[in-house]
A and B are shown apart, each in its own frame.
Chain A
Amino acid sequence: MASREAERGGAGGQDVLRRAGDASVLILTSLAGGAKHGYALIKDVKSFSGVELGPGTLYGALDRLEQLGLVEALPAEDRRHPYRITPAGVTALRVHLDAIERVRVAGRLRLGLEGI
């Protein structure tokens, strides 16, 4: 039931990040802590998730997120564009994390790791 609700995106709106890929979620999570440029994003994502994003993956995900209106590029500083999460990005990340949370709870319950 929880996973079905997760597929629908829950009551908070449609989960636009469901098909956006893991890199997009990691980037949005990183940008939720403040605006960053590419190098800082790669380092931050590695520090909280252990995933080392390739630079090609990073720019592909940033382009996708920008097209979706979930992040925006700030004016360049020293040849580097910092990116910032938009209000729509905050909402999308919250909806996606809620969906993941429901799946996590259902999974742990069925594995007998919680509620006993």
Chain B
Amino acid sequence: MAGPGSERLVQAALRCYPERWRSRHGEEAAELARLLMRDGTAAHSIAWSYVKGAASTRLALRSRRRLRAVVGGLVAAACSVGLSLALLSSSAPASAVTGPCSGGARGAGMGARGHVPYGHHYLTGGAGRSSASVRVTTKKPANSDALSGHDQHC
């Protein structure tokens, strides 16, 4: 019943599966096909079942890989944002980044509350990332005590 043509057809269908699947199930699947053909199942029917199974396996594998890539990208983006924020908070004084009224940067290693130095550059993207530099051009007030007075009102 199972001629060499039938065996070749089934073998061709089994080659549609991913290599990993074939190394695990290949021999067993070929043996199962032989037994089914011996019982009278048509070779093309067995081959078609394997082709459908191979397509389904490959699709599942691809969607799993895509999911892994998306999750990896999200984790990398989150890490990048977190690193940027960490560098930002560690490289700039709290008052220059968050403003004197905000308490956002307090408690992040910036316990000291100093005045903004006049005419300084601050890197908002961390060291070596000068594209996001901010130039603080506060003018020295006539009465410099007024600034600290304002700070206290916040």
Q: Which of B27, B53, B56, B57 contacts A55 (CB 8 A)?
A: B53
Q: Beyond the given A54-B45, A56-B51, A79-B28, could you list 4 further A-B residue pairs with CB under 8 A, ordered by the A residue number?
A: A38-B28, A56-B50, A60-B56, A80-B28
Please report whether the interface of chain A is mostly helix, strand, loop or mixed according to DSSP: helix
* A contacts, CB < 8 Å to B: 37-39, 42, 54-60, 63, 76, 79-81
Write the chain B residue with the least CB distance to A81.
B28
The winner among A39, A57, A76 for most chain B CB atoms within 10 A is A39
Does B35 lie at the interface of the complex (its beta carbon under 8 Å from any beta carbon of A)? yes
CA distance A60 to B59 in the complex (A): 12
Within 8 A of A (CB), among B27-46: 27-29, 31-33, 35-36, 45-46
Which bucket holds chain B's interface residue count? 20 to 34
* A-B contact list, 12 entries, CB within 8 Å: A38-B29, A39-B36, A42-B32, A55-B33, A55-B36, A55-B49, A55-B50, A55-B53, A56-B50, A56-B51, A56-B53, A63-B21
Give the Cβ gap from A111 to chain B, nearest Cβ, in Å. 35
A92 to B29, CA, bound (A): 27
A-B contact count (CB 8 A): 51
Please state if B25 and A59 are interface contacts (CB–CB under 8 Å).
Answer: yes
Is the Cβ of A79 less than 8 Å from the Cβ of B49? Answer: no
| Given A42-B36, A60-B56, A60-B57, CB of A55 within 8 Å of CB of B29 | yes
Which residues of A have CB within 8 Å of B21?
63
Question: Quick check: A39 and B53 within 8 Å, CB to CB?
Answer: no
Known contacts A79-B27, A80-B28: A56-B54 contact under CB 8 Å: yes
Contact B56 A39 (CB under 8 A): no
Question: Which residues of B have CB within 8 Å of A37?
Answer: 28
Are A39 and B54 touching (Cβ within 8 A)? Answer: no
How far is the CB of A83 from the nearest CB of chain B, in Å?
Answer: 11
Q: Is B52 an interface residue (CB 8 A)?
A: yes
**Least Cβ–Cβ distance between A3 and chain B, in angstroms:** 28
